[in-house]
Structure 1
Amino acid sequence: MTVDQVGSRSDDDRVDAAVRSVRAAAGDRLVLAPERTAGDEFQLLLDDAGAALDVAFALSRAGGWSVGIGIGDVEEPLPESTRAARGEAFVRARTAVERAKEVPEHVAVEIADDRRLRTADVEPLVAQTVRARERRSPEGWELADLVHAGHSRTEAARLLGITPQAVAKRWTAADLRSDDAVRSALVRLLTEADQPG
Structure 2
Amino acid sequence: MFAITADQIDSRIRPDHADEALAILAHVGGDRLALPADRTAGDEVQALTEDPRTALDIVLALARTGLWSIGVGIGDVRAPLPTATRAATGDALVAAREAVEAAKRRQWRLAVAGDRIAPAAETLQAMIELLLQLRERRSPEGWELYDLVEAGLTQAEAAERLGITPQAASKRALAAAVRLDAAARDGIVELLALANGTDAGREPGTEDNA
How much has 1:121 moved relative to structure 2?
A: 2.3
Trace 1:1-197 onto structure 2 (pairs within 5 A).
1-113=4-116, 115=117, 118-195=120-197
The amino acid across from 1:15 in the alignment is: A
Percent of pairs identical after alignment?
Answer: 48
| Cα-Cα RMSD | 1.3
The amino acid across from 1:132 in the alignment is: L
Cα distance per residue 1:57-96 (max 9 Å; x no partner): 0001111101100001110011011111000000000000
Runs of 4+ in structure 1 over 6 Å off: none
TM-score by length of 2: 0.90
Provide the C-alpha distance between the structure 2 equivalents of 1:34 and 1:27, rounded to a whole number of angstroms: 10
SS in 1 for 2:37: strand
**Aligned pairs, number:** 195
SS in 2 for 1:73: coil
The amino acid across from 2:78 in the alignment is: E
The amino acid across from 1:90 in the alignment is: L
Provide the C-alpha distance between the structure 2 equivalents of 1:127 and 1:33, rounded to a whole number of angstroms: 27
Provide the C-alpha distance between the structure 2 equivalents of 1:41 and 1:116, rounded to a whole number of angstroms: 25
2:202 is matched with none
How much has 1:117 moved relative to structure 2?
A: 5.2
